[in-house]
Amino acid sequence: MSPDSESQTNELQRCVYVFRDKNFAKGKGEQCSEPVYSDGKCILHIGLPDDQSRSEYKDLAARKAERVAEKAAKDDFNFEGAILPSIDFSEWSVPNLNFVDASIWEHALFEGATINGNVSFVGATIVGNVLFRDAIIKKKASFWEASIKGRASFVNVKIGGRASFVKATIEDNAYFEEACIGEYASFDGATINGEASFDKARIGGNVWFDNATIKEGVWLNGVKVKGHVSFEGAKIGGGAWFRQASIGGDASFERAELQKEIYAEGVSGAPQAQAAIYRKAKQVWSGLGDRDKADYYFYHEMVAKRELKKPTFSFRDAVHRSERKNPKDDIPSIKKYVRSYAEYFLEWPIQHVTGYWVYPARVIRAFAIFVLCFGFLFWFIAQDFTVTALDDSVWCSFLTLFNPIGKIENAQPGLFGAVTVIAGFIGPLTWPVFIAILAKKYGR
């Protein structure tokens, strides 16, 4: 046998599987270097028989597991395109995990494992569950276009880099409770056929659910997101929970379909995110015909919007601005500041006295506070600091606020008269406001 024909034979005995290249183009990378087991494929790349109960399946699965153990012993965790029965690296410490395009016919378990580099399941299919609970992934986690037939658990996982589940499919529930993701997390175009929970998760960048489909509910209670949260074009079949969520950037729900109830009490962080979440909640609840909840979220949306009107004036910015070549730049911005502040302060009574026209009880409360304030004012002006005089002053204040006509006519010029006129102006204003709110709230 000539050396030439020998190398040809070796070439023929090499597994025909071709890996992805650096740009993740399929079949454009290197060829597998493992020897052929049968059908031109190595033991890792050869397919498993469909019937898992058959002895062929069990024999092949055992041989595959052996090869996996051999590779793992050498710190080689490249299982790209491998067809494997089940994988269990729970509590292991590994340099990285490459399961790109792999097919795992049972569960993939990595609970409590430490992965010192990247984890990639791009285009992988896992028939069972994927469990990463309590694992540490030092760099990024890529699961785009992965298909998980069971459930996915990333509870309390720590991911140093970004987490990508773009166009991934999870047939069961997805759990990310208390997960900590250093950079962004993307679920764009993902399909989760169960529920998705992110309760108390912390995300260092943005979170995207654009065009994602979540068949059941989505939980984001107590989540802390440094950047934006986006649900543009997302479809959520169950409820949505945002209680005590904190969003540092913006929130977007454009074209999002939230079909069930939404709970968003105590959202904190950037006012624009609060306003967007409360507005969505208001729309959802009015769609469901729950006027009280719609009013509640409308009120909070308006409070957040009022916060947005309070511009944060930075002295450094102002100085910087005056150094600009075109000083005209200054004029509209100062005007903007002044107008914004004016609107912010003028809106105070609308928020606190009328409750943005949805809380009639607030008007009664405001009226009671006015009665007490003017009562004390009259008491101080009269300078007769006895309990009887205080009683009289409060009663006088009540009458003035309730029906000022006679009181103003009889008021003497001076301080007492001036305060009477002011009270006489404010008091009667409260009743039309009260009636207007009642009419708006119950008259539609």
Q: Give the one residue of 20, 37, 45, 419 binding Zn ion; rule: CB under 5 A.
A: 45
Q: How far is the CB of 80 from Zn ion (least distance, A)?
A: 9
Cα distances (angstroms) measured from residue 367 to each of 342, 371, 372, 406, 422: 24, 6, 9, 19, 14
Contacts 24+ apart (CB under 8 A), 100-108: 100/19, 100/20, 100/24, 100/124, 101/20, 101/26, 103/127, 104/128, 105/48, 105/52, 105/61, 107/131, 107/150
Q: How far is the CB of 17 from Zn ion (least distance, A)?
A: 4
Q: How far is the CB of 179 from Zn ion (least distance, A)?
A: 33
Residue 102 or 113 with smaller CB distance to Zn ion: 102
Whether residue 280 contacts residue 253, with contact meaning beta carbons closer than 8 Å, is answered with yes
Q: Which of residues 7-36 bind Zn ion (CB under 5 A)?
A: 15, 17, 32, 34
Q: Is 46 in the site for Zn ion (CB under 5 A)?
A: no
Per DSSP, the three-state class of 294 is helix
Per-residue x/- track, 194-223, Zn ion (CB under 5 A)? ------------------------------
Residue 45 or 280 with smaller CB distance to Zn ion: 45
Q: How far is the CB of 120 from Zn ion (least distance, A)?
A: 17
Amino acid at 423: A
Residue 16 or 435 with smaller CB distance to Zn ion: 16
Q: Which of residues 246-305 bind Zn ion (CB under 5 A)?
A: none
Q: Is 43 in the site for Zn ion (CB under 5 A)?
A: no
Contacts 24+ apart (CB under 8 A), 313-316: 313/337
Q: How far is the CB of 141 from Zn ion (least distance, A)?
A: 25
Q: Based on the number of CB atoms within 10 Å of its own CB, is 309 exposed (0-12), middle (13-18) or buried (19 or more)?
A: middle
Q: How many residues bind Zn ion (CB under 5 A)?
A: 6
Residue 45 or 167 with smaller CB distance to Zn ion: 45
Whether residue 68 contacts residue 43, with contact meaning beta carbons closer than 8 Å, is answered with no
Q: How far is the CB of 42 from Zn ion (least distance, A)?
A: 3
Angle at 181 between CA 179 and CA 182, to 5 degrees: 150
Residue 16 or 372 with smaller CB distance to Zn ion: 16
Q: Is 68 in the site for Zn ion (CB under 5 A)?
A: no
Residue 17 or 278 with smaller CB distance to Zn ion: 17
HSE-CB for 180 with a 13 A CA cutoff: 8
Residue 80 or 145 with smaller CB distance to Zn ion: 80
Q: How far is the CB of 102 from Zn ion (least distance, A)?
A: 12
Binding part of the chain for Zn ion, among 45-53, 116-124, 158-166, 299-307 by CB under 5 A, reads 45-53
Q: Give the one residue of 42, 131, 166, 174 binding Zn ion; rule: CB under 5 A.
A: 42
Binding part of the chain for Zn ion, among 38-46, 49-57, 130-138, 148-156 by CB under 5 A, reads 38-46
Residue 37 or 299 with smaller CB distance to Zn ion: 37
Whether residue 45 contacts residue 53, with contact meaning beta carbons closer than 8 Å, is answered with no
Q: How far is the CB of 270 from Zn ion (least distance, A)?
A: 50
Q: How far is the CB of 29 from Zn ion (least distance, A)?
A: 12
Residue 40 or 428 with smaller CB distance to Zn ion: 40
Q: Which residues of 322-361 are buried (b: 16+ CB within 10 A; e: fewer)?
A: eeeeeeeeeeeeeeeeeeeeeebeebeeebebbbbbbbbe
Cα distances (angstroms) measured from residue 384 to each of 248, 293, 379, 414: 54, 48, 7, 17
Cα distances (angstroms) measured from residue 136 to each of 129, 204, 258, 350: 18, 16, 33, 50
Amino acid at 11: E
C-alpha 65/C-alpha 76 separation (Å) is: 14
Residue 34 or 210 with smaller CB distance to Zn ion: 34
Q: How far is the CB of 15 from Zn ion (least distance, A)?
A: 3
Q: Which residues contact 118 (CB under 8 A, 6 or more apart)?
A: 96, 97, 137, 139, 140, 141, 142, 161
Residue 46 or 236 with smaller CB distance to Zn ion: 46
Q: Based on the number of CB atoms within 10 Å of its own CB, is 193 exposed (0-12), middle (13-18) or buried (19 or more)?
A: middle
SS3 content of the chain, % helix, strand, coil (to 5): 40, 15, 45
Q: How far is the CB of 46 from Zn ion (least distance, A)?
A: 8
Q: By CB under 5 A, name the binding residues for Zn ion.
A: 15, 17, 32, 34, 42, 45
